[in-house]
């Protein structure tokens, strides 16, 4: 549920701010998020047929997210190519 909520929130922000916003540039295609949602959906379906497969999918998603996703932090701090920082 948290992954779905995050994706919906992110999509709402991108709909308002646009793909060229800081968030839009940071998340890009968001492969990790899409893979996670697909795995969750498959896990829900598999839980009715083969519960062990659903458990393995949940563990796989957790392992995917053990590696921190620093895209947003990198864009906001200006460390990424094409990122611009305004000096105030």
The band of 44, judged by pLDDT with boundaries at 50, 70 and 90, is very high
How high is the mean pLDDT of the chain? 82
C-alpha distances in Å from residue 33, one per residue of 7, 48, 52, 60, 84: 7, 24, 23, 13, 25
49-84 pLDDT per residue, tens: 999 999 999 999 999 888 877 777 777 777 655 545
Tokens of 2: 């948290």
What global pTM score does this model have? 0.69
C-alpha distances in Å from residue 68, one per residue of 46, 64, 74, 83: 27, 9, 12, 20
Closest CA to 44 of 52, 29, 36, 54: 54
């Amino acid at each position: 549920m948290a992954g779905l909520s995050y994706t919906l929130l992110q999509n709402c922000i991108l709909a308002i701010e646009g793909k060229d916003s800081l968030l839009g540039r940071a998340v890009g295609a968001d492969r990790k998020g899409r893979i996670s949602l697909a795995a969750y959906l498959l896990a829900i379906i598999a839980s009715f047929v083969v519960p062990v497969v659903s458990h393995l999918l949940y563990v796989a998603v957790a392992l995917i997210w053990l590696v921190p996703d620093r895209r947003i932090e990198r864009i906001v701090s200006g460390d990424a190519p094409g990122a611009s920082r305004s000096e105030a």
